[in-house]
């Protein structure tokens, strides 16, 4: 029996979740281990002075981390959106849907995304679309979820590795410019796990983009996911393509100076210590996808909510240890880079 285009799309969404869950079980290289804080023996403050509120996309968020864009578009993935949405509603975490492109093509799939808003009517919800979409589609995506912001993803390597992927990216810049100017909600332009260069970020800034999620290498790997979906492909040589999240954060130093762009970081975040380091390197907040997917799958909703509160408490304690009452204060702390991250900084002329 051959599947129609909508069924193929739904199968692809299911495969993405299953393969991403598989990747979470693997031991990985940990690019954040190349970052250390300098320890100082005084912290002349108390825990109740630590405030982890973070400000981005026109909103104050109670936590400096969020559930990043993943899924929807099939019955199987709707269950994940429901669970993740319930975690977001309970904890106050911001949450993004996966690309709503499937629902724009086949409206019978809309409920697989809308569930995120149904279970979390008052939370901060982001819709998600690829950069090949027009302003009109961007407005439809925001309407679908009654979204507070829109994520636009950049995923050239993923498209290239997919036999059915796009081969024409020539309208991306024009689309982004029009969407940022006219969609009516804050726009976050994000990668999908390949990281960003300073050249990319400067270009996004020139298009009027004010919030960028560098989403780097080190966690979920979409070259490998697409490669594993299709046994006749061999793009495994590209498995290490792209900048790690710490490398991308160093690249971002070029755009942070004048305060016009807010930086978000994601990709391979495993624990609160990684969040702390990404915030210290300039991110206003940190996104997690694979980790939350695996958590609701393995542990369920209640234990994931508990994990979020533990992470919040751990972050506050580590900020106390570093004498950092706010995320902004954390960004002034002394850090030491080593290994391949230091090499990257030297080769790219980043102080």
The CA distance from 277 to 283, in Å, is 9
Q: Nearer to ligand FNR by C-beta: 20 or 263?
A: 20
Stretch that binds ligand FNR, among 55-63, 226-234, 271-279, 288-296 (CB under 6 A): 288-296
Q: How far is the CB of 245 from ligand FNR (least distance, A)?
A: 8
Burial of residue 31, with CB atoms counted within 10 A of its CB: 0-12 exposed, 13-18 middle, 19 or more buried? buried
Given CA atoms 306, 287, 285, 151 in this order, what sign does their dihedral have? negative
- Under rule CB under 6 A, residue 17 binds ligand FNR: yes
- In the bound complex, which residue of the shown chain has the CB atom lying closest to ligand FNR? 219
Mask for 93-132, x = binds ligand FNR (CB under 6 A): -----xx----------------------------x----
Q: How far is the CB of 267 from ligand FNR (least distance, A)?
A: 4
Burial of residue 329, with CB atoms counted within 10 A of its CB: 0-12 exposed, 13-18 middle, 19 or more buried? middle
- Under rule CB under 6 A, residue 215 binds ligand FNR: yes
Q: Nearer to ligand FNR by C-beta: 50 or 74?
A: 74
Mask for 30-69, x = binds ligand FNR (CB under 6 A): --------------------------------------xx
Mask for 145-164, x = binds ligand FNR (CB under 6 A): ------x-x-----------
Q: Under the phi-then-psi rule, with left for phi > 0, alpha for psi from -120 to 50, and beta for the rest, what region is 333?
A: beta
Cβ atoms of residues 150 and 59 within 8 Å = no
- Under rule CB under 6 A, residue 293 binds ligand FNR: yes
Task: Give contact residues for ligand FNR (rule: CB under 6 A).
Answer: 16-17, 20, 68-71, 98-99, 128, 151, 153, 190, 192-193, 215, 219-220, 266-269, 288-291, 293
């Amino acid at each position: 029996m051959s599947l129609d285009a909508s069924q193929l799309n739904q199968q692809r969404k299911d495969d993405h979740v299953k393969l991403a869950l598989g990747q979470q079980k693997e031991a990985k290289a940990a690019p954040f281990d190349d970052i250390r804080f300098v320890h100082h023996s005084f912290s002349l403050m108390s825990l109740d002075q630590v405030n982890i509120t973070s400000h981005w996309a026109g909103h104050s968020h109670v936590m400096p981390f969020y559930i990043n864009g993943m899924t929807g578009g099939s019955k199987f993935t709707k269950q994940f959106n429901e669970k993740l949405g319930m975690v977001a509603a309970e904890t106050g975490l911001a949450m993004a849907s996966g690309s709503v492109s499937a629902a724009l093509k086949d409206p019978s799939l809309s409920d697989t995304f809308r569930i995120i808003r149904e279970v979390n009517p008052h939370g901060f919800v982001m819709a998600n679309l690829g950069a090949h979409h027009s302003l009109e589609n961007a407005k439809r995506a925001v309407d679908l979820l009654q979204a507070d912001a829109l994520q636009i993803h950049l995923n050239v390597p993923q498209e290239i590795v997919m036999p059915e992927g796009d081969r024409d990216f020539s309208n991306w810049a024009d689309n982004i410019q029009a969407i940022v100017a006219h969609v009516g909600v804050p726009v976050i332009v994000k990668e999908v796990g390949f990281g960003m260069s300073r050249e990319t970020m400067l270009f996004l800034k020139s298009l009027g983009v004010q919030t960028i999620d560098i989403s780097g290498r080190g966690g979920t790997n979409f070259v490998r996911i697409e490669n594993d979906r299709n046994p006749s492909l061999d793009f495994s040589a590209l498995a290490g393509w792209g900048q790690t999240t710490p490398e991308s954060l160093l690249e971002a130093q070029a755009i942070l100076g004048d305060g016009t762009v807010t930086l978000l970081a994601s990709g391979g975040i495993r624990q609160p210590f990684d969040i702390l380091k990404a915030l210290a390197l300039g991110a206003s907040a940190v996104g997690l996808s694979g980790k939350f997917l695996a958590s609701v799958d393995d542990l369920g909703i209640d234990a994931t909510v508990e994990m979020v509160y533990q992470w919040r408490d751990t972050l506050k304690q580590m900020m106390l240890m570093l004498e950092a009452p706010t995320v902004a204060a954390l960004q002034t702390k002394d850090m030491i880079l080593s290994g391949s991250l230091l090499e990257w900084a030297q080769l790219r002329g980043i102080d």
